[in-house]
Chain A
Amino acid sequence: MAAPVNSVGKTSADRLQANCTSFQKKTRSKLISIPGTRPSVQNGQLLVSTGVTSLDYLLGGGLAVGTVLLIEEDRFDSYSRMILKYFLAEGVVCRHELFVATAQDNPDEILQELPAPILDDVAAPKPVEQPRLTGEPQDTLDAMKIAWRYQNLPKVQSALASSSRFGHYYDVSKTMEAEIRQAAKCHRFYLPDHITPSSAAHRVESYSALLKSLQEVIHREGFDLATPMSKSRNILRVGLHSLGSALWGDDLCCHDKPRHSHALTTFLYGLRALLRSSLSVAVVTLPSHLIQDRALMGNITRLCDNAIALESFKGSERETNPLYKDYHGLLYVRQVPHLNSLARQLPDHKDLAFKLKRKQFTIEEGMQIVSFIPLTTIMMMTVVSVNSEGIHSNVLPLQDLMAAYISEKMLCRGSDLLALPVFVPARMAELSGLWGWGGDFEMGPGTDTKVVTGTGDEFQKLYRKKKKKRYGLTSAEQHNRQKHVSVSSTSTKVCLITF
């Protein structure tokens, strides 16, 4: 269970028997709140921030407590590691406890690389400045003349206030100061400390050792939901780095048909069991590009709740592609959970691109794939086509027709990239002229024929403008007018037909 916030209306018998809600309220009015968390607006789940605000938005407001976020690593593990660091840094700022497990680098190395938070005042463990009372003498400059009612409020924003905010920003060029970092309690699990790599037990035991260690920490520090609600509760943030890699004793990345393929999946099952019964959140990174078995990746994804995959442009040909010059990589949302409800919060667009700036990790709709209209209806179209010699010919071949129909539908929605069904050969994409976007914009000479190779947005803007000037009609009426655009089979221009 990802902890629901309120248990109003449940009888005490229910509460005792169910023993699953973490917030058994003593009185109805009192709502126990943990700093750094907030209830979801959709279904009342308790959410924590991942440290990246745009990722929070993608996940439906934040990461639900009791769930796992799986990050499929990019090729050099740069951005997935960055997100893991954001996640841990957010935990430090919110005063949550951390649990970091690695097999490759020492957890301390990751902790030392955490980005510095951008706060109005640093949440340092210094005593908060004494708020000035009205009785004390103040400088005339500081005295408020107009907003004098606010004179009495403490001038210094206390550390608690800053950490009660949801989601912070971090400066990647600086690392977090040691004082702030040491204020947070951190549990480490470094695999070579627990199991020697050469031992026979290494292969199978590393995951179970991790699971046992995690359970022990949860139980000892009181994150278990079963423990009575005596003291204030906190969240445990679990960061597991590069699970499934060979250093964890797994041969998932080494063989096509791994022998112990269920070791990792059993661990993920146990991890889900642990998280659902405690106040913790986990972020797991996995080098999925090394795993050849796609079915196994499907199983792993299903055992985690949220799953995203990162693909960075570094080192690939896309790095120099002007198309992608603004972005550092692509982000795929593989899975979104439905917790305590039937419907899941699906993202609007499934193909996104990310950009790591100094102060922000942004995720944007780099390429907008339009939701595809199932081609269940067939429209009869008559088309006029003009090729480069200016000869009209009736009835384009069916392929061109389809390309035209599709491109028209897409363009009028202002989309950028065309998603073609697989049965349409690539030639159609070429014909429709939208395949390499960022192309030129050409206008036919003085007629109402327009030859377009631009992006959807540009075309739409220009098209609307031109149409308005020429005909003086509203855009709705113009849309209903029949119009045709020339197509030439030799060059890659788009053919646009509407009815």
Chain B
Amino acid sequence: MFSELNSILNISPDSFTRGEFILVSDRQSDASFLIHHFLSFYLRARCKVCFLGLVQSFCHYSAVSQRLGVSLTQAKEKGQLVFFEGLKECLSVLTPKENNVESEAMNFLRDPTVGLRSLYEFVRSSVIGSGSLEEGAEQWGPSVLLVDDLSVLLSLGVDVGAVLDFSHYCRALVCSQMQGNMVMLVRCNGEEDDDDDGDVVSEVLLKGLTHQCNLSLHVQGLPTGYCKDIHGQMEVCWKTRQGDTPHLQKNLFQYKVYDKGASFFARGTSSAVL
């Protein structure tokens, strides 16, 4: 949990707006540090978290969360965290063995045209799931869905329409129905105004999700080039309603990622420059 980011977003583990869809996106950069932040944030806030870790192993997230002060294994044991490890499940589909049961949620690997319905069913079952609480089970806060990341599904051949449907279904379930929060990571490759041979598919996905979200954190490298002291810039965009009028508020920060956190500062105020 990055305290500076919390103050920027005006949230804390004790108070945060519910029913929000937070979109974390990056362009030729890596915004996964924000996913780690939100994971530790919501675990600290005692929410019931469903995490789709599609690109890294459980140990990676666990090691990073340890540095941020949260233990994923403990959260899993207590039932607070439902962790879906995409890498482990995919092997059962890609290299099937006779006696092994294929993972249902990743069946889009076998045939991408099937879409992400099974993955959604998995999310649904883990978010709604514990209808009957066992004795002594702790009461957790609102459900939260975290996805890291959505663009890998595009690389695996899933149609962009199917991915948008999946995010819409999840939003309807988690944000509207369960009044929880949802955080998704989308990664883009090309330049923003590169129409011809750019990555059309991820641009479509990014635009579609930006339209659906309430809060967007967009991470990019510095426009003037590579810098060792400032890792990039992050644009925060709030969509609020003040009365009847929708209101868009944007803010730009620069950041640097450390071993145990990240610091955010206004442009030009990096410690390297000042």
A contacts, CB < 8 Å to B: 1, 4, 14, 17-18, 20-21, 208, 211-212, 215, 256, 261-262, 265-266, 269-270, 272-274, 276-277, 292-295, 298-299, 302-303, 338-344, 346, 348, 350, 369, 371-377, 419, 421
- B131 contacts chain A at the CB level, 8 A cutoff: no
* Contact yes or no, B88 A273, CB < 8 A: yes
Known: A276-B87, A341-B64. A270 touches B197 (CB 8 A): no
Which among B33, B90, B202, B225 is the interface contact of A342 at CB below 8 angstroms?
B33
* Contact yes or no, A215 B91, CB < 8 A: yes
Hey, which chain A residues are within 8 Å of B257, CB to CB? Answer: 342-344
Which among B63, B155, B225, B268 is the interface contact of A265 at CB below 8 angstroms?
B155
Hey, which chain B residues are within 8 Å of A211, CB to CB? Answer: 94-95
Which among A18, A346, A374, A419 is the interface contact of B268 at CB below 8 angstroms?
A374
* Contact yes or no, B60 A339, CB < 8 A: yes
* Contact yes or no, B156 A265, CB < 8 A: yes
* Contact yes or no, B64 A340, CB < 8 A: yes
* Complex alpha-carbon distance, A277 and B90, angstroms: 12
Hey, which chain B residues are within 8 Å of A340, CB to CB? Answer: 59-60, 63-64
Known: A350-B226, A371-B227. A17 touches B77 (CB 8 A): yes
* Contact yes or no, B67 A421, CB < 8 A: no
Which among A269, A295, A344, A421 is the interface contact of B152 at CB below 8 angstroms?
A269
**Chain B contacts with A in 156-179, Cβ cutoff 8 A:** 156-157
Which among A17, A295, A339, A371 is the interface contact of B199 at CB below 8 angstroms?
A295
- Chosen A-B contacts, 13 in total, with CB atoms closer than 8 Å, are A17-B73, A20-B62, A21-B59, A269-B94, A277-B57, A294-B190, A295-B197, A342-B36, A342-B258, A346-B228, A348-B228, A372-B222, A375-B224
Chain A residue at minimal CB-CB distance from B91:
A273
* Contact yes or no, B155 A299, CB < 8 A: yes
Most B CB contacts (10 A, CB to CB) among A272, A292, A340, A344 go to A340
B contacts, CB < 8 Å to A: 28, 30, 32-33, 36, 56-60, 62-64, 67, 73, 76-77, 87-88, 90-91, 94-95, 109, 112, 151-152, 154-157, 187, 189-190, 197-202, 222-230, 257-262, 267-268, 273
* Contact yes or no, A299 B189, CB < 8 A: yes
Most B CB contacts (10 A, CB to CB) among A292, A302, A303, A419 go to A302
* Contact yes or no, A266 B94, CB < 8 A: yes
Hey, which chain A residues are within 8 Å of B190, CB to CB? Answer: 294-295, 298
Chain B residue at minimal CB-CB distance from A215:
B95
Known: A211-B94, A371-B226, A374-B222. A18 touches B73 (CB 8 A): yes
Hey, which chain A residues are within 8 Å of B198, CB to CB? Answer: 294-295
Hey, which chain A residues are within 8 Å of B94, CB to CB? Answer: 208, 211, 266, 269-270, 273
* Contact yes or no, A341 B259, CB < 8 A: yes
* Contact yes or no, A266 B109, CB < 8 A: yes
Hey, which chain B residues are within 8 Å of A344, CB to CB? Answer: 30, 257
* Contact yes or no, A277 B88, CB < 8 A: yes
Chain A residue at minimal CB-CB distance from B273:
A373
Which among B33, B62, B90, B223 is the interface contact of A18 at CB below 8 angstroms?
B62
* Contact yes or no, A273 B90, CB < 8 A: yes
Hey, which chain B residues are within 8 Å of A212, CB to CB? Answer: 95
- Closest 3 interchain pairs by CB? A295-B199, A262-B157, A1-B59
Chain B residue at minimal CB-CB distance from A15:
B73
* Contact yes or no, B64 A374, CB < 8 A: no
Hey, which chain B residues are within 8 Å of A348, CB to CB? Answer: 228
| Chain B nearest CB, measured from A440 CB (Å) | 29
* Complex alpha-carbon distance, A118 and B87, angstroms: 40
* Contact yes or no, B225 A1, CB < 8 A: no
* Contact yes or no, A372 B77, CB < 8 A: no
* Contact yes or no, A266 B157, CB < 8 A: yes
Hey, which chain B residues are within 8 Å of A20, CB to CB? Answer: 57-59, 62
Chain B residue at minimal CB-CB distance from A212:
B95
* Complex alpha-carbon distance, A274 and B87, angstroms: 8
New contact pairs (7) apart from A298-B190, A341-B259, CB-CB < 8 Å: A1-B58, A21-B59, A269-B155, A298-B28, A346-B228, A369-B226, A371-B228
Chain B residue at minimal CB-CB distance from A260:
B157
| Chain B nearest CB, measured from A397 CB (Å) | 21
| Chain B nearest CB, measured from A434 CB (Å) | 16
Chain B residue at minimal CB-CB distance from A44:
B63
Hey, which chain B residues are within 8 Å of A341, CB to CB? Answer: 63-64, 67, 259
Chain B residue at minimal CB-CB distance from A264:
B155
* Contact yes or no, A269 B64, CB < 8 A: no
* Complex alpha-carbon distance, A300 and B56, angstroms: 15
Known: A18-B62, A374-B222. A294 touches B197 (CB 8 A): yes
* Complex alpha-carbon distance, A294 and B190, angstroms: 8
Chain B residue at minimal CB-CB distance from A20:
B59
| Chain B nearest CB, measured from A409 CB (Å) | 12
* Contact yes or no, A269 B156, CB < 8 A: yes
Hey, which chain A residues are within 8 Å of B189, CB to CB? Answer: 294-295, 298-299
Hey, which chain B residues are within 8 Å of A276, CB to CB? Answer: 56-57, 87
* Complex alpha-carbon distance, A372 and B262, angstroms: 21
* Contact yes or no, A4 B63, CB < 8 A: yes
* Complex alpha-carbon distance, A376 and B157, angstroms: 41
Hey, which chain A residues are within 8 Å of B152, CB to CB? Answer: 269, 302-303
Which among A4, A262, A373 is the interface contact of B156 at CB below 8 angstroms?
A262
* Contact yes or no, B225 A372, CB < 8 A: yes
Hey, which chain B residues are within 8 Å of A21, CB to CB? Answer: 59
